[in-house]
Amino acid sequence: MSAEAADRVAAVGGSRPSTPLQTSWFEFLLDGSLLEKHLEKSNPDPLPVQLIIQFLEQASKPSVNEQNQVQPPADNRRNRTLKLLALKVAAHMKWDLDVLEKGLTIPVLNMLLNELLCVSKVPPGVKHVDLDLSTLPPTTAMAVIIYNRWAIRTIVLSSFPEKQTKPGPHQMNMLSIVQQEKEMTENILTVLKEQAADSISVLEGALRLKKDFYVHTLRTLDLLAADAAANGETESSTAGLRISADELHCQVHYDLGGIFFQHGFTDQPAFEKARDHFRQTKELLRKLDSTVHVHLDEKRLAGYWNACKAMTGDCEPSDPQSTLYDQINSLIRANNYQAVIEAFIKDNVSRSLPNHFRQSVLREFLYKVQQGESGLDLVCHKLCVCNAVRDALEGEVLSVRFQQLLFKPRKLMVDFILEVCTRSLEKDRPSETSRRHMANFLKTLCESLEDLSLVFVVSSHKLFMELLKEEERKVLVEQMRKRSATINLSGKPLPSFYDIPASASVNIGQLEQQLILSLEPRRIRQILIELHGMAERPFWRVNSKWEVPPDYINVILGIKDNLTKDLVYILMAKGLHCIAIKDFVHARQLFSACLELVTEFSPKLRQVMLNEMLLLEVRAHETMASEGSKERPPPDLVSRVRGYLEMRIHDLPLRQVVGEECVAFMLNWRENDYLTLQVPPSLVMNNPYIKIGQLLASTCKELPGPKESRRTAKELWDVVVQICSMSIQHKRNNDGRVGLIKHRESSMGIMHRSKFITFIKKLREPLVLTTLISLFVRLHSIVRDDIVNEVTAEHLSIWPSTLPNIQAVDVEAVAVTVKELVSYALTLNPNNQSWLITQADIYFVTNQYSAALNFYFQAGAVCSDFFTKAVPPDVYTDQVLKRMIKCCSMMNCHTQVAVLCQFLREVDYMTAFKALQEQNSHDSMDSFYDYIWDVTILEYLTHIHHKRGEIEKRQIAIKAIGQTELNTSNPEEVLQLAAQKRKKRFLQAMAKLYF
């Protein structure tokens, strides 16, 4: 035992002696015999695959020289021994790729197998496809075969979808490690896919070898290590583990079948190659007595086999396991659909086809129907019936598709269902379970059919008579008759309602159902007349979803005539629902009928309905505008809105939302003159929405004016600050100090903030929204008090720069309002560059750097035709560019930082050089060098790579600096053109990267 291991044992000796200690990797270096003893344990800790990872990880650690420069792993005795130990562990596992692939990542397994090629004396620098396997020593040939088997298996496995594992709490550098491993995996897969054809050729060559194969064991690896001068011709080449030709060929055929099957989706003939390989695999499996060295999933092999035959149309009568599959696939290809249905009916008796296969056939036909193939609807219905009967016989729940089929069935379909039921029972003596399940299915069928004549067809059928006892039949038929008597009423024309007997409460239920569903005013009135003739109760309560505004409840319920009360309530409730779902046609019909009704007896309700109809027209026009209509509202509608705002009728219930939406309507259609000059002062004092509307309209009118004309802006500012403020109480604490208590619910403004936000989200006019955004951005900056990280917006100068009572302002409410307001504005116009910059700033100051870059690049893209033109300097100001630079820096995209430093009016060399010194960059590094036009930065890059010994990257930098258009002797116009070209390409690349 090593000294360090002894220390560890001593340290924990008195705590838990029953818990065995995990053996450390370095102990295997110190004791050559320890590995075999460890691997022979029943539950070794660490596991073999964990040992491989530890050995290779330690052997591939980079070293640091005296100049503190990172160097590749040293080729010394320690590292060679560690690699050999990893190979020994894999040899102990008999090179089982199934186990190795599950326990090791692609980069680790790639490293392991490359080491195997190295110790097996595979000629370096020679393509495997150029090697003659028959002339190579056995273990050398086997190493080549194992590597190329792994290559094509990895290509196949990488094409399968994988569920992403949720990362746990990472260490500081864990994300970069994960990212590096992902990049390494992608690079390896790229190389393997490029060499896939060569790997296939190598394995096809292995199939032509008829001799036995040998693979390295722990012993042969020891021999190779002892005889460092061995050239592969030593006795160790045939002293390995013997694998018969049939065993190897079986495994290789299976692996080749997998890769050809994958190719088949883009190259149809490849399915035939895959089928031939899988056939060979099956034949060799039957031939082999034991398959010690064959590791394959026989269920997957069977699935591959059936899939290949389905794709190639190959049918073998000698294979009883898949004859029915083949028959059905052949029938589908031949368009013999009736025969497919017959096969399904027969299978209902034998039940040899799995349910998932039958369902997949049905889905295939449904897909063909969706693609427009005519005449397949009936086939789909019949297959659905066959599957439903199969489900019923097995006691499964019937599918939704079958239940939908029974909504409006024809007699022919019911006859077919009964035919399938009859033919699906065993002919001689059906089992008791099958009889019981079929009887339940027939009862369900009767209960699902609404047409009494079709119920009679089922109940009079021979099978029904046989399976159900007489008492069951009588009870079921009686139930169906009773139910049908009520159902048929709903299908009768309206005049027949007068024939309904008043005593039938079930019929009242049917009328109430009609009342709920109807949107035609005359029909609603007729139904209510009938209902009041049958029972005297308030029918406006029939549906709990019917709601009228609380402001109108007392007026409507005060109507003395119960029928009229019900009718007014229901017409209004249905009209409001139609408005909510934007069914304005039915809403107009319902409101018009209600207006006509109340005009006869109530001037107050008449005015209520006129107000609601005005709100309907306002919402209808605003909906058209939000959908892209540029048509201005008719003068009549504008006049009616003005009339409503000025209306004063004593004791008339008014809904706040009507006034709110009228004010929003006037702002949206730029009726600013009315709001600022013509609205009565008393109205402004009494209606908070009109007050805010007037202030917004005045501020928008004064925006281009001189500074002294901003009195209205100050007034609007004060109103909004009050809305976002809370009442404050002073309370003395236990220690005698006075503290502040804020009451969030008790707003000091003319309305609550939630109502203010609701009002804002009814505005569409860009200048109004820009003004509000500007106001809240300024307020947000003041309450945050962060001069460095301020959000920017247009027209900030018109607002005050201080607050007299900053403690009263709800900081959180202001922050939330800014975000909501800008997000809402961008839903109306996602291409407003000012709003985009503001949104980007909001993300920037809250440290959401990726989202901020997204919006900074969107802002640049919309004002430059996706960077085909230069971005105006007033959009990409130095402040915006510096924020973009910081975003890239915080995301460790240091090469992007260097490129962006060139965009500043004065190139920021200090920041660029500092960024290029960073080695842990998460961007594509040298792929961005083509976007650098500043020669000083390129020269520094060349120096950095030379200092680090990064030859390839240095060459890329030299190539970039050597382009003639960057020659400093060029005219200024040429240099500017070169810079503009690179700016455009870089910004387009970044835009694709971030959105």
- How far lies 308's CA from each of 300, 324, 343, 547, in Å? 12, 15, 21, 61
Q: Is 236 exposed, middle or buried (0-12, 13-18, 19+ CB in 10 A)?
A: buried
- Average predicted confidence (pLDDT) for the chain: 81
pLDDT at 178: 64
Whether the CB-CB separation of 716 and 706 falls below 8 Å is answered with: no
pLDDT at 479: 72
How would residue 786 be classed by pLDDT, with cut points 50, 70 and 90?
confident
Highest mean pLDDT among 130-139, 719-728, 970-979: 970-979
Highest mean pLDDT among 109-123, 501-515, 820-834: 820-834
How far apart are alpha carbons 460 and 456 in whole angstroms? Answer: 6
For residue 163, pLDDT beyond 70: no
- Greater confidence (881 vs 33) lies with 881
For residue 336, pLDDT beyond 70: yes
Whether the CB-CB separation of 873 and 842 falls below 8 Å is answered with: no
Whether the CB-CB separation of 131 and 142 falls below 8 Å is answered with: no
In the chain, DSSP finds a helix count (H) and a strand count (E) of: 47, 6
Q: Do 466 and 520 have their domain in common?
A: no
pLDDT at 963: 87
Specify if 803 maps to a domain.
no
User: Could you tell me the two tokens for 244?
Assistant: 């018969």
Whether the CB-CB separation of 431 and 349 falls below 8 Å is answered with: no
Q: Which range among 119-133, 804-818, 824-838 shows the weakest confidence by mean pLDDT?
A: 119-133
How would residue 616 be classed by pLDDT, with cut points 50, 70 and 90?
very high
Q: Which range among 486-500, 727-741, 768-782 shows the weakest confidence by mean pLDDT?
A: 486-500
For residue 239, pLDDT beyond 80: no
Q: Which residue type is seen at 350?
A: S
Compute how many other C-beta atoms are within 10 angstroms of the C-beta atom of residue 941: 26
Phi then psi dihedrals of residue 895, to 5 deg:
-70, -35
For residue 814, pLDDT beyond 50: yes
**Mean predicted confidence (pLDDT) in 267-272:** 80
For residue 495, pLDDT beyond 50: no
Residue with tokens 């899988």: 278
Specify if 661 maps to a domain.
no
Specify if 49 maps to a domain.
yes
Whether the CB-CB separation of 136 and 144 falls below 8 Å is answered with: yes
Q: Please report, rounded to a whole number, the percentage of residues in the chain having pLDDT higher than 90.
A: 24
- Greater confidence (57 vs 28) lies with 57
DSSP string covering 105-162: -HHHHHHHHHHHHHHTTPPTTS-GGGS-GGGS-HHHHHHHHHHHHHHHHHHHHHTS--
Specify if 490 maps to a domain.
no
Residue with tokens 């130095």: 878
Please, what is the Cα angle at 892 between 887 and 895, to 5 degrees? 90
How far apart are alpha carbons 201 and 945 in whole angstroms? Answer: 40
Q: Which range among 13-27, 344-358, 900-914 shows the weakest confidence by mean pLDDT?
A: 13-27
**Mean predicted confidence (pLDDT) in 857-872:** 92
Q: Give which of 882, 922, 927 is closest to 902, Cα–Cα.
A: 882
Q: What is the pLDDT of residues 711-735, one digit of tens each?
A: 888 889 999 998 888 765 444 455 5
Q: Identify any residues that bridge with 213 across adjacent strands, giving them in sequence order.
A: 243
How far apart are alpha carbons 204 and 676 in whole angstroms? Answer: 87
pLDDT at 13: 43
What region does 466 belong to: left with phi over 0, alpha with psi -120 to 50, or beta? alpha
For residue 227, pLDDT beyond 60: no
Q: Do 60 and 207 have their domain in common?
A: yes
pLDDT at 768: 94
- Greater confidence (741 vs 440) lies with 440
pLDDT at 168: 42
Q: Which range among 61-75, 338-352, 525-539 shows the weakest confidence by mean pLDDT?
A: 61-75
Q: SS3 for 870?
A: coil
Compute how many other C-beta atoms are within 10 angstroms of the C-beta atom of residue 257: 25
Q: Do 509 and 407 have their domain in common?
A: no
Q: What is the pLDDT of residues 550-605, one digit of tens each?
A: 889 889 988 988 999 999 999 999 999 999 999 999 999 999 999 999 998 888 89
How far apart are alpha carbons 898 and 885 in whole angstroms? Answer: 8
Q: Do 200 and 103 have their domain in common?
A: yes
Q: Please report, rounded to a whole number, the percentage of residues in the chain having pLDDT higher than 70.
A: 84
**Mean predicted confidence (pLDDT) in 153-163:** 78
Specify if 338 maps to a domain.
yes
How far apart are alpha carbons 138 and 240 in whole angstroms? Answer: 9
User: Could you tell me the two tokens for 902?
Assistant: 């060139």
Q: Do 515 and 600 have their domain in common?
A: yes
**Mean predicted confidence (pLDDT) in 763-783:** 92
Specify if 704 maps to a domain.
no
Q: What is the pLDDT of residues 353-405, one digit of tens each?
A: 888 888 888 888 888 887 777 778 888 999 999 999 999 888 888 887 888 88
How far apart are alpha carbons 542 and 570 in whole angstroms? Answer: 10
**Mean predicted confidence (pLDDT) in 793-822:** 88
Q: What is the pLDDT of residues 913-945, one digit of tens each?
A: 999 998 888 887 888 899 999 999 999 999 999
Please, what is the Cα angle at 573 between 568 and 575, to 5 degrees? 95
Q: Do 43 and 185 have their domain in common?
A: yes
pLDDT at 313: 66
- Identify the domain boundary among 483, 506, 539: 483
**Mean predicted confidence (pLDDT) in 623-641:** 88
Total residues belonging to the chain: 995
Phi then psi dihedrals of residue 67, to 5 deg:
-85, 15
How far apart are alpha carbons 823 and 769 in whole angstroms? Answer: 11
How far apart are alpha carbons 744 and 809 in whole angstroms? Answer: 10
pLDDT at 17: 44
Q: What is the pLDDT of residues 43-73, one digit of tens each?
A: 777 788 788 887 888 777 776 666 666 667 7
User: Could you tell me the two tokens for 842?
Assistant: 């909001």
Q: Identify any residues that bridge with 242 across adjacent strands, giving them in sequence order.
A: 214
Q: Do 426 and 540 have their domain in common?
A: no
Instruction: Provide the strand spans (E) within 618-714.
Output: none
DSSP string covering 523-579: HHHHHHHHHHHH--S-GGGS-TT----HHHHHHHHT-SSHHHHHHHHHHHHHHHHHH
Q: Do 334 and 237 have their domain in common?
A: no
**Mean predicted confidence (pLDDT) in 513-530:** 90
For residue 119, pLDDT beyond 90: no
Q: The domain containing residue 509 runs over which residues?
A: 497-631
Q: SS3 for 987?
A: helix
How far apart are alpha carbons 286 and 190 in whole angstroms? Answer: 37
For residue 215, pLDDT beyond 60: yes
User: Could you tell me the two tokens for 280?
Assistant: 């060979």
Q: Do 329 and 426 have their domain in common?
A: yes
Q: Do 564 and 476 have their domain in common?
A: no
Whether the CB-CB separation of 799 and 774 falls below 8 Å is answered with: yes
**Mean predicted confidence (pLDDT) in 508-533:** 88
For residue 172, pLDDT beyond 90: no
How far apart are alpha carbons 128 and 204 in whole angstroms? Answer: 12
Q: What is the pLDDT of residues 417-454, one digit of tens each?
A: 999 999 988 777 778 888 888 988 988 888 888 777 78
User: Could you tell me the two tokens for 467?
Assistant: 């399976």
Q: Which helix (H) or strand (E) holds 490?
A: none
For residue 129, pLDDT beyond 50: yes
Q: What is the pLDDT of residues 658-712, one digit of tens each?
A: 888 999 999 999 888 888 877 767 677 777 888 899 899 989 888 765 554 578 8
Classify each residue of 462-499 as buried b or exposed e, where b means 16 or more C-beta atoms within 10 Å of its C-beta: ebbeebbeeeebeebbeebeeebeeeebeeeeeeebee
**Mean predicted confidence (pLDDT) in 265-279:** 82
Compute how many other C-beta atoms are within 10 angstroms of the C-beta atom of residue 116: 25
Whether the CB-CB separation of 111 and 167 falls below 8 Å is answered with: no
Phi then psi dihedrals of residue 921, to 5 deg:
-100, 135
pLDDT at 505: 43
pLDDT at 443: 86
Specify if 840 maps to a domain.
no
Q: Do 592 and 622 have their domain in common?
A: yes
Torsion of CA 618, 621, 624, 628, to 10 degrees: -110
Q: Give which of 340, 339, 435, 447 is closest to 403, Cα–Cα.
A: 447
pLDDT at 707: 56
pLDDT at 629: 82
Q: SS3 for 684?
A: helix
How would residue 316 be classed by pLDDT, with cut points 50, 70 and 90?
low
Q: Say how many domains are in the chain.
A: 3
Q: Do 103 and 203 have their domain in common?
A: yes
User: Could you tell me the two tokens for 651?
Assistant: 């004791």
DSSP string covering 309-340: HHHHT---TT-TTSHHHHHHHHHHHTT-HHHH
- How far lies 215's CA from each of 90, 116, 143, 632, 861, in Å? 11, 10, 7, 84, 60
Phi then psi dihedrals of residue 164, to 5 deg:
-70, 130
For residue 861, pLDDT beyond 90: yes
Whether the CB-CB separation of 484 and 454 falls below 8 Å is answered with: no
Contacts of 855 (CB under 8 A, 6+ apart): 836, 837, 839, 840, 843
Highest mean pLDDT among 42-51, 179-188, 223-232, 276-285: 276-285
pLDDT at 481: 61
Specify if 811 maps to a domain.
no
pTM for this predicted structure: 0.51
Q: Which range among 242-246, 313-317, 327-331, 838-842 shows the weakest confidence by mean pLDDT?
A: 313-317
- Identify the domain boundary among 425, 456, 483: 483
